[in-house]
């Protein structure tokens, strides 16, 4: 999961930064702090597979219960 937020002052608003990249297990892999930054993180396909096995919520979805998007 990557979360990007603006930092600095613009049009009378203060933006606090705080951009992060989190791994599939929720661990913090990179963080920008309150200033401008370029973040890099590597996530292995094996760590994604392991996380999906440990937390199988995507397999438990029930799309037949979702309402129609077209209505």
Note the pLDDT tens digit of each residue in 2-18. Answer: 999 999 899 999 999 99
Name the pTM for this structure. Answer: 0.68
The stretches of 12-60 forming alpha helices (DSSP H) are 45-54
Tokens at 11, concatenated = 């049009």
Q: How confident is the model at residue 71 (pLDDT cuts 50, 70, 90)?
A: low
Tell me, yes or no, whether 27 lies in a domain. Answer: yes
Q: Is residue 50 part of a domain?
A: yes
Asked, for residue 61, whether it belongs to a domain, the answer is: yes
Q: How far apart are CA 29 and CA 22, in angstroms?
A: 5
Distance CA 51, CA 56 (A): 8
Residue 71: inside a domain, yes or no? no
**Considering the domain boundaries, does residue 25 fall inside one?**
yes
* Residue 70 covered by a domain: no
Number of domains the chain contains: 1
Report the distance separating Cα 41 and Cα 43, nearest Å: 7
Residues of the domain holding 39: 2-65
pLDDT at 42 over 70: yes
């Amino acid at each position: 999961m990557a979360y990007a937020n603006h930092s600095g002052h613009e049009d009378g608003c203060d933006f606090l930064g705080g951009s992060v990249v989190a791994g599939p297990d929720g661990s913090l892999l990179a963080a920008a702090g309150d200033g401008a930054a370029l973040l890099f993180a590597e996530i292995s396909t094996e760590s994604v597979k392991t996380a999906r096995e440990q937390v199988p919520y995507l397999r438990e979805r029930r799309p037949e219960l979702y309402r129609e998007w077209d209505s």
